[in-house]
Amino acid sequence: MKEVKNICCIGAGYVGGPTMAVIALKNPHIKVNIVDINEQRIADWNDADLDKLPIYEPGLKEVVAETRGRNLFFSTNVDQGIQDADMIFISVNTPTKTYGKGKGQAADLKYIELCARQIARVAKRDKIVVEKSTLPVRTAEALKDILSNSESGFKFEILSNPEFLAEGTAIDDLMAPDRVLIGGDDTPSGQEAKDTLSAIYEAWVPKEQVLQTNVWSSELSKLTANAFLAQRISSINAMSALCEETEADVDEIARAIGMDSRIGPKFLKSSVGFGGSCFQKDVLNLVYIAKSYGLTEVAEYWDQVIQLNDYQKRRFADKIIKKSYNTVNDKKIAFLGWAFKKDTNDTRESAAIYVADHLLDENAQVVVYDPKVPAEQVYADLEYLNTHDPEEIRKRVKIVNDPYEATSEAHAIAVLTEWDEFKEYDWNKIFASTLKPANVFDGRNILDKKALEVIGFNVYNIGK
Ligand SMILES: NC(=O)c1ccc[n+]([C@@H]2O[C@H](COP(=O)([O-])OP(=O)(O)OC[C@H]3O[C@@H](n4cnc5c(N)ncnc54)[C@H](O)[C@@H]3O)[C@@H](O)[C@H]2O)c1
Ligand SMILES: O=c1ccn([C@@H]2O[C@H](COP(=O)(O)OP(=O)(O)O[C@H]3O[C@H](CO)[C@@H](O)[C@H](O)[C@H]3O)[C@@H](O)[C@H]2O)c(=O)[nH]1
């Protein structure tokens, strides 16, 4: 096993930031440098006011408070970070390609490749390079190729160490992971590298939960895990449509099947559709990979998970329109929530974006309240779709800081994110100020339907 005194992580995002903060917390003898080309992001990570960290995650600021300046550092000096490190994590973004071959499906690996080339160019000694980003199976081959062809002649051992944290619970997930997965070569130097990384995690993760595999299994396990999780949500959401036709209740069904120990209770919460930066991107990537190996049936199987999710988002918007006497033209629709799930300020691929877009097609006025998402993010999300003129978006979409202002005079109220505070509102007060009939569309099934009906609301749920 090699001694690691200095770690560098390239990418100070949702994964790099929290993951390295916890590694630093649990390994006070290791200096951890997180580097990023985004100057604003690094400035925010270094802000003296811990409420200004670029990522909101419960428990994160406490970990950063303890480690920052002790053995955790944030910098834009990528070259220096690489040079100083014994081990380099690559945790940059791997979005779906928006151009060229594989557009709309394949993962865009340009940032990964840039990192590999930069490591090859500036490294002054041997390094262990760890893929932290989610990558298509066999990416390590390309990394190895770039690094082993560098003129320096130094040796780079490549490991795959995918991250399984979920946003909103990132710190809890990192503190007590179900497992840590480390893939690497079965050569003596590969084994040594795997053991070196294992030891860092074993500072707090029980040894039996640190799993070592070959590098390809590790890469593909990450895509498989996300595909299985996303598939469960699409499966229960498919049943929700059937429930709405048959008076069955999707939450009761989830409970009934979840008690079967072979199925289990988690990830069976029917919703307006899954969002987030990972599920859609990773399933589409899997579809692309299967297709590229000529495995058409496999590709089509997983593609259905995405199609069903798109259907679920559209179905929710259509229901709002249908129950609004088939027109939302110039009607105020109040959105409670914009983030893709509670306890995060992340909005990437949030179902709210697509529901709003569909309502904008019908000339609705959308008023958004989310406790953590800033107004400019909402506009950026809608503009990114390129489906409506930015001026029109700003005319039709308003963002407010008060849920009572959002719902006042609204023709319909839609719950898009399952923020706990929505359950605590004074719904009598909301009822008094909203237009009648007072329609609530609970896209997360979190509100007390009976209590709201007693007040006078019509409550439309998913799968009930
Ligand atoms: N977000 C999650 O919950 C999550 C969980 C598990 C895995 N992942 C995977 O982890 C990876 C990172 O995701 P994320 O959500 O942290 O992304 P992110 O966009 O939040 O962060 C990536 C960061 O990398 C930086 N970057 C890009 N190229 C760079 C370069 N050449 N040099 C220096 N910095 C560079 C960007 O500026 C950005 O700040 C992705 O592959 C993703 O699929 C994400
Ligand atoms: O029963 C459920 C569970 C989740 N969701 C939705 O699914 C999306 C994703 O939620 P979640 O998986 O909790 O958050 P992510 O941060 O996207 O985490 C997923 O994606 C990460 C990035 O790859 C992985 O690391 C995690 O293991 C994986 O759970 C969100 O919109 C949720 O609201 C549901 O609709 N029903």
Does some domain include residue 265?
no
Does some domain include residue 11?
yes
pLDDT in tens, 269-322: 999 999 999 999 999 999 999 999 999 999 999 999 999 999 999 999 999 999
| Annotation says 9 is catalytic | no
Distance CA 208, CA 28 (A): 23
Residue 153 sits in a domain whose CATH number is: 3.40.50.720
Burial class (CB in 10 A: 0-12, 13-18, 19+), 225: middle
Banded pLDDT at 152 (limits 50, 70, 90): confident
Domain end call among 213, 237, 253: 213
Distance CA 13, CA 167 (A): 12
Does some domain include residue 231?
no
pLDDT at 17 over 80: yes
**Ligand 2 atom 26: residue of nearest CA:** 166
Contacts for 21 with CB less than 8 Å, ≥ 6 apart: 60, 63, 64, 67, 72
Number of domains in the chain: 2
Which atom of ligand 1 is nearest the CA belonging to 14? 16
ipTM of the complex: 0.98
Domain extent, residue 204, equals: 6-213
HSE toward the beta carbon, residue 384, CA cutoff 13 A: 14
280 known ligand binder: yes
Does some domain include residue 229?
no
Domain end call among 174, 192, 213: 213
Domain end call among 188, 213, 238: 213
Distance CA 44, CA 68 (A): 13
Based on the domain organization, do 153 and 291 belong to the same domain?
A: no
Q: Which helix (H) or strand (E) holds 10?
A: strand 6-10
Among 233, 270, 286, say which to mutate for ligand 2: greatest number of ligand atoms within 8 Å of CB. 233
pLDDT in tens, 343-395: 999 999 999 999 999 999 999 999 999 999 999 999 999 999 999 999 999 99
Residue in 8, 9, 243, 278 annotated catalytic = 278
Does some domain include residue 439?
yes
Tell me the pTM: 0.96
